[in-house]
Structure 1
Amino acid sequence: MARSRMLVPEAKQGLSRFKTEVARELGVPFSEYNGDLTARQCGSVGGEMVKRMVEEYESHLK
């Protein structure tokens, strides 16, 4: 069975800050415990994060 591992461990703190920032902008109440959040709320945060990362990457290609 494959294990998930972060390729760049130093990025964990930055991704956590990014996730918190996006959640705050979307009005999703992220905290230490997120078991009360719906799948839709979590998905909206993750989807927005990916969208922004892709936009950032594409802007550097130009």
Structure 2
Amino acid sequence: MANDRNSNQLVVQQARAALDQMKYEAAQELGIQFSKDGYNGDLLSRDAGRIGGNITRRLVQIAEQQLAGQANFR
């Protein structure tokens, strides 16, 4: 794990592509640019937090919709 750039571990590894896509969409919606060379160490903490908050909001919304859909069938 010492070689991993991101120490967060996904429970469902197949979700990585969807989460990455969400990250880029959130950044674009917020007007935050990622570096073309892949290095984003100069990204402001505030901007990273805004991206993360946006992703969290989306994930909660998705979970609420799924739970509401399950409740309709019980």
TM-score, reference length from structure 2: 0.70
Root mean square deviation of aligned Cα: 1.6
TM-score, reference length from structure 1: 0.81
Aligned equivalents of 2:23, 2:14: Cα separation in 1: 15
Identity %: 40
**Greater relative contact order (Cα < 8 A, sep 6+):** 1
What 5-or-longer segments of structure 1 have no aligned partner? none
What 5-or-longer segments of structure 2 have no aligned partner? 1-6, 69-74
Instruction: Work out which of the two has the higher radius of gyration on C-alpha atoms and give 1 or 2.
Output: 2
Q: Which one of the candidate residues 47, 56, 61 is aligned to 2:53?
A: 47
